[in-house]
Amino acid sequence: MKLRHLLVITFAIIVIIPMTLFWIWPYSKALELEVKEVNEKHLVIAKNLSAAFERYYQDVTGIFSIVAFQSQKQLESKEFKQLLNSYKFKEIIVINDEGAVQRCLFSANGNCIESVKNDIVLLAKETLKEGAIQISTVTEDKTNNSGLILLVVKKVNNNILLAYLSTDYIVQMGKRVAFGKKGHAAIVDQAGNVLAHPLDSWIQERKNMIAISPIKKMLAGKTGVDEFYSPALKGDMIAGYTQVPNAKWGVMVPQPIKELENKADAIDQTAIFVMLLGLGLALLITIPVSLILIKPLENLLRAIKLIEQGGSNVNLKWNLSKLIPLELQLLKMSFANMMQNIERNKKEISKLAYFDATTGLPNRNYFYRLSNKALDKMLKTNQKGALVFIDFDGFKAVNDTYGHRVGDELLFLFGKRLASFLSFNSEYEQINYLTDNLPLIIPARLGGDEFVILFQDIENRREVELKLQTLFEVLFLKYELHDGVELTITGSAGVALYPENGYRYDQLMKSADIAMYDAKSAGKNRIKFAEKAFNKTS
């Protein structure tokens, strides 16, 4: 069957098929896509807000920590007052245990309060933590018309250094988040009391929202997406939520599920309109397209054949129906061959870029990439690790005596033993498999006769020593090589412990390298641990 004949038949029934498929397509799919977008977008907004509040918390506590040590002249300087005003400090005073003001350090309106009511003193004492700056839950000093405030407190000798911190910045940041018709941000303090919310009445009464599911979860330190019923908006909501790490405030970005359903409806209606319009246009151009489409396809086929001639000779067998036009059969076969060649070459090139050609182990660059990811993981999980630098003893003599072919074969067999002992497999379909599924032990060849191993989740130095002793018993045995050559080699190893000998890749590599040379200097065929402890200031 010729392609032009098939086109006429196909376009004759094209009006029926898409409409049928469209009605089969479930409405829930559109809603599912909307919910998926919420999972990504709302959570990102919540995390960004959390990061902003964390910076604000750090700045506030940092400024507060130096206030008590400033001279009166510095406290009264225009620049320092502007700084305190910019971070929404209203009052900074020193009080005794009864609430009597001992010293006024700053007042936003110029007139320091004369006394502090008992409930504020009690909250300040409850918030205090020895040797640390703490921020209380939201409150209000009605005696002094403070408005909604947070108490920033620190014990100073027998007195309390106390600041009234306005919640205006938190409220303003919360009101900046608005999307859809009712999408918003809600921020609560460490007890679940509202700091920012679209309902001003909830802010003023410090509404406690601890009963709401995502509020409980984020105050427990969790991050994620949750569905719940909102008493404020009287409807089901979906929200991304997280916690401000040090302040322990909760940040939630909810949106009514009804809005997502309405959006899915709109997508369905738009899709129907576009489908009908497309089908109408398709019918109008059916005949001319069937006449002019053949020539471009034939030109494309010739171009693909030219590309195919420089590729593989593999013959892919296609079991196609006789109803498929001959031109399309040739096009599919040629295109498949071309893409197969491209994919094969791409995989080979990618492997050469990431793995050592002689041993099949990760190369220097890929080991650097994997190690940095592993170090980041160990830092976050507070794990220990070790980087081991192994160098053959007398490898140059092997090359000089037996030639590079024997030397390469020795490196190949060594790498094979190393990978086998560590149960390390580098034969994956996707190069990024190791990056996405980071193994606990990562071996690599840096070049020449230099090999490295990164161990993660190590308990102590003794564990590393036992692992290496067992490893050396496997690696440094007799090797049967080309032309009947039999060799027994030895090696020296230097070990740098993480984080004792460094936090970064280059620090660990340098320490392990030095330790390896110490092992060689001490007589070779031994293991040496880096002695120099890492100093963060260096």
Q: Count how many Cα atoms sit within 13 Å of the Cα of residue 306 in the half-sphere of its side chain.
A: 6
Percent with pLDDT over 90 in the chain: 47
Name all domains of the chain by residue range, CATH numbers in brackets.
29-44+171-260 (3.30.450.20), 89-166 (3.30.450), 355-529 (3.30.70.270)
pLDDT at 13 (0 to 100): 73
Alpha helices in 87-229 (DSSP H): 118-127, 168-175, 200-204, 213-219
The reported pTM is 0.48
pLDDT tens, residue by residue, 302-330: 556 655 665 444 455 555 555 566 665 66
pLDDT at 70 (0 to 100): 76
Q: Are the C-beta atoms of residues 243 and 218 closer than 8 Å to each other?
A: yes
Q: How many other CB atoms are found less than 10 A from the CB of residue 147?
A: 14
Our CA angle for 169, 172, 174, nearest 5°, is: 110
Confidence band for 538, pLDDT divided at 50, 70 and 90: very low
Pairwise pLDDT comparison (392 vs 345), residue with the higher score:
392
pLDDT at 312 (0 to 100): 47
Question: Terminus-to-terminus CA distance in the chain, angstroms?
Answer: 78
**Which residues does residue 101 pair with via DSSP β-bridges, in sequence order?**
95
E strands, 338-477, in order = 385-392, 441-447, 450-456
Alpha helices in 355-392 (DSSP H): 364-381
Pairwise pLDDT comparison (363 vs 274), residue with the higher score:
363
Taking 80 as the threshold, does the pLDDT of residue 427 lie above it? no
pLDDT at 343 (0 to 100): 61
pLDDT at 79 (0 to 100): 87
pLDDT tens, residue by residue, 442-484: 999 999 999 999 999 999 999 999 999 999 999 998 999 988 8
pLDDT tens, residue by residue, 163-179: 999 999 999 999 998 87
Report the pLDDT averaged over residues 30-59.
Answer: 84
Evaluate the CA torsion angle 201, 205, 211, 217 in order and state its sign.
Answer: positive
pLDDT at 391 (0 to 100): 95
Token pair, residue 90, equals: 């209203």
Tell me the C-alpha distance between 59 and 53, whole Å: 10
H-helix or E-strand spanning residue 454: strand 450-456
Taking 60 as the threshold, does the pLDDT of residue 295 lie above it? no
Give the Å distances, CA to CA, from 499 to 7, 438, 504: 68, 19, 9
